[in-house]
Amino acid sequence: MTMMQTSENIYSFEDYCHYGDESDNRYELVDGRLVLMNPPSFQHLLIAKFLESYFDRLIKEKSLPFLCFKEAGVRTGWRKSRISDLYIIEANTIQELLNQSAIVESPPLLIVEIVSPESVTRDYRYKRSEYAALGVDEYWIIDPKNERITILLLEEGLYEETVYSISDTLVSRLFSKLNLTVKQVLVSGNM
């Protein structure tokens, strides 16, 4: 998703949770400023849809107490909130948030971001440091252009990364029985 700063106003996290501008626009909160998120590509949406279905099926088959959400918010700092492409969180975390904005303040168990040409620095650098500081245990960066998936696992507050190429099978800490290749994920973005 492309980002574009839309306002010089400084917003608190609470202001952001209740912000509305009578449009269907989606914003991230970055250092108190609203940043417009442009619509993703269809390739991006297809990959996210595939992974959401895959994770939902895995969660159901294993009877895991998790929920998978696409394009939901994650508070990453005092005046910061990101919209992740996909995340998995413990189901009981959502119970008390049902009637609130779809933004969690506790760390999801796993976050997935799909890189677009405009989001390279944001996904590989900024979100990486924000998610590590929040305590997100597992962070996937899917990079269709470079045909790779980077899986970052939190170790003593910092991410240790493993880069998987097209023929590799992914290894997840959260899903020990994962049977998914980079190729399967990337092909899902094609028609």
Question: For residue range 133-161, what is the model confidence (pLDDT) as tens digits?
Answer: 999 999 999 999 999 999 999 999 999 99
Q: Tell me the whole-structure pTM to 2 decimals.
A: 0.90
At 158, give phi and psi (nearest 5°). Answer: -125, 155
Determine, yes or no, domain membership for 135. yes
Full residue range of the structural domain in which residue 153 is found: 40-187
What pLDDT digit, counting tens, does each position of 90-100 carry?
998 887 776 67
Determine, yes or no, domain membership for 19. no
Q: What is the mean pLDDT of residues 38-65?
A: 94
Determine, yes or no, domain membership for 4. no
pLDDT of 16 higher than 70: yes
Tally of domains in the chain? 1
pLDDT of 126 higher than 50: yes
Task: Residue 117: count other Cβ atoms within 10 Å of its Cβ.
Answer: 8
